[in-house]
Structure 1
Amino acid sequence: MMEKSDGRSVFQDEAMEILLDSLSCQENSRVQSLSASVLSDLGGTYSWSGESYTVAWLTKKAGLTSTSHRNTIRNIDWLDSCLQDIEISTWSSNSARAIIKIGVPVISALAKGMQSKVKGTSNDSLVCAAWLGSELVALGENDIRYSACEIMLHDIASHLHPGFELAERVVACMCLYNYTSGKGKQMLMSLSEGSRESLRRLSSFTWMAEELLQVTDYFLPRKPVSTVGI
């Protein structure tokens, strides 16, 4: 296997290029769905029985601690060993960093995946974006995180709304929080009032929503309620 100077193999790069091209292919929903699923699975959090627990791991990391709230995420054993440590594994971290190095093409492909009308495709793309976002935060302030915020902000925000399942909304909130941290905070000014209202509804589920609200309310104070005619 040919290896590049940064340790990545040529075959790995070619495989990732094919995946990203397929995810960007909005004309072929089946191919796009398969690519999104593969990328989502790279997050690498699995139960002892081999089921993907990446979404559960992300929601726990986002602060979803209430038993009643967790029970809305079906078929998850919250006592499974893979959910007892919210720190990203070394293998998962290295995988995320290898993908992040590809840069903007990854972000653009995920944005197109999140725009899909196929629920599984958009959700898998969101999960992958959240996983990568967690690692980007660990890397500190960087240009790729800012670019990702510019490209994906509104696609991520579209998953905040109450029409989606709670787990998906919490993952979207976590995604938004990670990508807008640092100099990306000012981009929150472009959020619609509907997205801000969705964050208010999520604030009782995750502290990340509350902190995002504090930022948006700082930049965009809520209009005072008129008392005229009351």
Structure 2
Amino acid sequence: MKEIDLQVFTASFDKIEDLRNQDFILVSVSGKVIGEIEHKEEVEAFRGFSTYRMRYHKQAQDYLSCYTLYRQKLEKKGIEKILGQLEDLKLKHNKSKIVLLGYGNENEFDYRHIFAAFLQENSFNAPEYPDPIDMTIQRKLWQYDPYREAGHDNLTDEYVGETLEKVKFIFAKTIPDNPHHYTLRKDFGNDEKFLSIVRHIRFFGKLEEFGGMIFRCFYWKNHKYHTHPVDILDTDTDLINRHRIE
């Protein structure tokens, strides 16, 4: 593994003033810096780690999906390229200390802790500044699934599948590169039944990545069904999508 003479820390954006005064290279590991962050024009975005597509998962506190997607980015990039990118930042700024910045405070969920854990697994330490955090709390958060926490209504797969077979589905003609059909909540005929099926799909569905987001997919015969992460709560959901399995 590539060795670099560099100190790497993680920290919240709230500490940015102190970090600037200590001559750190300021780096965001969540993509472009948004919001009212002081000195954000001085923060470098670590290439390949935008979390914009994950924003609905984070809003829903679907940390399992956030972790799954971010971990995929880390593994795809690989430790050698990550260390090489850190080395490039060191040479660009002619400094020996880098801080990987994120939005969460103390023990709140944040992507920087996933990044730090990946570095640690590869024998490169990146402690939190100014004080260590309890990584056991973070690891518990990474397994948190709000849709499983919400529960389900004890429907059977057969009931859900057979109900969906009887429903009218409309072809999504505005998305020809992703052929699928959808059924609308307003046309379902029974709002509570619709929401019960949504809860079943989200509770029992298999997690699958598509387009930088996680979908919980319920399989029945030749189709799979899912809702959309933009509908954060079960009660927000206004449609169910259906894809044919080839």
- What's the TM-score bracket when you normalise by the shorter of the two chains? under 0.3
| Higher normalized strand content (fraction of residues) | 2
TM-score normalised by structure 1 residue count:
0.27
| Higher normalized helix content (fraction of residues) | 1
Larger radius of gyration: 2
